[in-house]
């Protein structure tokens, strides 16, 4: 099993979570433990089933082609993440209460009632939004043969840690370089995972 790929994938999957934690922290929006754990559980479910889907697709092609295809998918998603972060760099924050579809497109709008606390109901939409961003990556990772079980477990643990740490750090910092460039770092890390899977 490629432990390096497992850890790198779990970290890349959770950079969005860290960025969200930082963003909410800077806005003085709290994410209590229960909503944080719910987000992690949704992330774990999405990760597990998307990776299992990738493993299922492997049955129809050779292991070499499956590994290559999965790695290329991860690289393409990394490039797409980089491109998306460039395109959204000028986007402005909306003041009105966001709809569910807007939360799914941009998880930072999860605090729909603007009370500066993420409730367990709001965490469901936030967790779904973060998970949808990782489904295609999970399919690609599953196709490369990365352990779905261990990746899911580590992804869930890092989700709780990254959101909690990000929220705490964000509250103490008006601006953070990492918060602004978390999507860029996630894209680069995904590209590196894909290249690692191709070369190793």
Q: pLDDT tens digit string along 18-62?
A: 877 777 777 777 888 998 999 999 999 999 999 999 889 878 877
* pLDDT tens digits, one per residue of 6-21: 898 888 888 778 877 7
Q: Please check whether residue 123 is in contact with residue 39, taking contact to mean a CB–CB distance below 8 angstroms.
A: yes
Band (175; pLDDT cuts 50, 70, 90): low
| Confidence check: pLDDT of 155 > 90 | yes
Residues in the chain: 200
Q: Concatenated DSSP letters for 149-185?
A: HHHHHHHHHHHHHHHHHHHHHHHH-S--HHHHHHHHH
Rounded to whole angstroms, how far apart are CA atoms 84 and 90? 11
- Structure confidence at residue 94 (pLDDT): 44
- Structure confidence at residue 149 (pLDDT): 92
| Confidence check: pLDDT of 132 > 70 | yes
Residue 25: partners with Cβ closer than 8 Å, 6 or more residues away: 166, 167, 168, 169, 170, 171, 172, 173
| Confidence check: pLDDT of 147 > 80 | yes
Q: Please check whether residue 190 is in contact with residue 137, taking contact to mean a CB–CB distance below 8 angstroms.
A: yes
Rounded to whole angstroms, how far apart are CA atoms 184 and 178? 9
Rounded to whole angstroms, how far apart are CA atoms 183 and 187? 6
Answer with the residue of higher pLDDT: 120 or 4: 4
- Helix, strand, coil shares of the chain, percent, nearest 5, are 80, 0, 20
* pLDDT tens digits, one per residue of 72-109: 877 887 787 678 767 665 454 443 444 445 544 555 55
pTM: 0.68
Q: Please check whether residue 124 is in contact with residue 45, taking contact to mean a CB–CB distance below 8 angstroms.
A: no
Rounded to whole angstroms, how far apart are CA atoms 106 and 62? 37
Q: In this prediction, what percent of the chain has a pLDDT beyond 70?
A: 72
CA nearest to 170, candidates 24, 16, 38: 24
- Structure confidence at residue 1 (pLDDT): 52
- Structure confidence at residue 41 (pLDDT): 94
- Structure confidence at residue 184 (pLDDT): 73
Would you say the C-alpha torsion 134, 138, 141, 146 has a positive or negative sign?
Answer: positive
């Amino acid at each position: 099993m490629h432990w390096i790929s497992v850890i790198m994938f779990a970290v890349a999957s959770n950079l969005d979570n860290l960025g969200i934690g930082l963003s909410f922290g800077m806005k003085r929006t709290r994410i209590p433990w229960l909503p944080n754990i719910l987000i992690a559980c949704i992330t774990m479910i999405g990760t597990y089933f998307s990776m299992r889907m990738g493993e299922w697709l492997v049955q129809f092609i050779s292991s070499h082609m499956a590994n290559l295809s999965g790695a290329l998918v991860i690289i393409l998603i990394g490039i797409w993440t980089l491109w998306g972060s460039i395109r959204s760099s000028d986007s402005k924050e909306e003041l009105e209460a966001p709809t569910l579809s807007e939360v799914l497109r941009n998880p930072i709008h999860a605090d729909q009632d603007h009370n500066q606390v993420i409730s367990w109901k709001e965490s469901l939409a936030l967790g779904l939004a973060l998970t949808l961003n990782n489904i295609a990556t999970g399919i690609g990772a599953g196709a490369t043969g990365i352990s779905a079980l261990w990746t899911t477990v580590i992804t869930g643990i890092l989700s709780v840690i990254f959101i909690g740490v990000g929220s705490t750090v964000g509250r103490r910092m008006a601006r953070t370089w990492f918060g602004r460039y978390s999507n860029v770092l996630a894209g680069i890390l995904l590209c590196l995972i894909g290249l690692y899977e191709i070369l190793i």
